[in-house]
């Protein structure tokens, strides 16, 4: 076991995801302690089940025809939840991608815990092409700077013919909703320490091509 995997296992517990109990993830036990251990300005996104990702994962398991038999690319995968759900729903192949190497480890370890396999890519792909029939992303519109980087990539991928599904809490203002179609809405249990509330209404959107 490599040091990164040892770190992940030592500081998380394998836990069923609240809205998607079919999928278990290695999630933070002590949020503040883990954040300090990782030493970053932002929380370790891979150690939490964020509302947008839970929404997309729930949608894929409820509507497996969205990904069954198709290649799937999970952008900013974090824990790998959405990619894992796509694999469980019957995707032909799944690649989980994130800029954080620990997210890549989390996606691989979490996939194995759920009896599926995913490819892992640690890279910033927003300025290049992606070879996939379906692109999924949860919680990528959490602030203006991130939205301004992610949206051109997603719009370009959708214009190229891929199906693009994104999920975010409905109160976030940065997603260009006029260019999306809502396909599902969920009330998602979340962690008060991170979100300040116990649940968030989350929408899953299809980006127009």
Name the β-bridge partners of 189: 199
Q: What is the chain's alpha carbon radius of gyration, rounded to the nearest angstrom?
A: 16
Residues 179 and 206 sit within 8 Å (Cβ to Cβ) = no
pLDDT at 196: 84
Instruction: Read off the pLDDT band of 193 (50, 70, 90).
Output: confident
Residues 137 and 166 sit within 8 Å (Cβ to Cβ) = yes
- Stronger pLDDT, 95 or 40, i.e. the higher one: 95
d(CA 135, CA 74): 6
**Collapsing DSSP states into helix, strand and coil, what is residue 78?**
coil
Judged against a pLDDT cut of 90, whether residue 42 lies above it is answered with: no
Q: pLDDT (tens digit, 9 = 90+) per residue, 18-38?
A: 999 999 999 998 888 998 998
* pTM for the full predicted model: 0.96
pLDDT at 89: 98
Instruction: Read off the pLDDT band of 100 (50, 70, 90).
Output: very high
Residues 29 and 133 sit within 8 Å (Cβ to Cβ) = no
Q: pLDDT (tens digit, 9 = 90+) per residue, 116-164?
A: 999 999 999 999 999 999 999 999 999 999 999 999 999 999 999 999 9
Answer positive or negative: Cα dihedral of 25, 190, 202, 101. negative
Between CA 88 and CA 131, with CA 95 as vertex, the angle to 5 degrees is 120
Judged against a pLDDT cut of 80, whether residue 40 lies above it is answered with: no
């Amino acid at each position: 076991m490599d040091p990164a995997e040892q770190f992940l296992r030592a500081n998380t517990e394998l836990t069923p995801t609240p809205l998607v109990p079919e999928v278990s993830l290695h999630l933070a036990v002590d949020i503040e302690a883990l954040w300090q251990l990782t030493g970053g300005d932002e929380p370790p996104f891979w150690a939490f089940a964020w509302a947008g990702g839970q929404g997309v994962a729930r949608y894929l398991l409820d509507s497996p025809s969205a990904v069954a038999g198709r290649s799937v690319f999970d952008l900013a995968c974090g824990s790998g939840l959405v990619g894992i759900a796509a694999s469980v729903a019957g995707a032909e192949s799944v690649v989980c991608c994130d800029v954080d190497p620990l997210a890549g480890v989390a996606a691989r370890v979490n996939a194995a815990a759920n009896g599926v396999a995913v490819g892992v890519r640690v890279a910033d792909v927003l300025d290049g092409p992606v070879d996939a029939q379906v692109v999924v992303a949860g919680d990528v519109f959490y602030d203006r700077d991130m939205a301004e980087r992610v949206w051109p990539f997603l719009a370009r991928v959708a214009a190229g013919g891929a199906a693009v599904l994104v999920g975010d809490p409905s109160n976030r203002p940065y997603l260009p909703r006029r260019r999306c179609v809502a396909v599902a809405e969920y009330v998602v249990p979340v962690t008060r320490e991170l979100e300040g509330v116990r649940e968030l209404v989350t929408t899953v959107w299809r980006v127009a091509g």
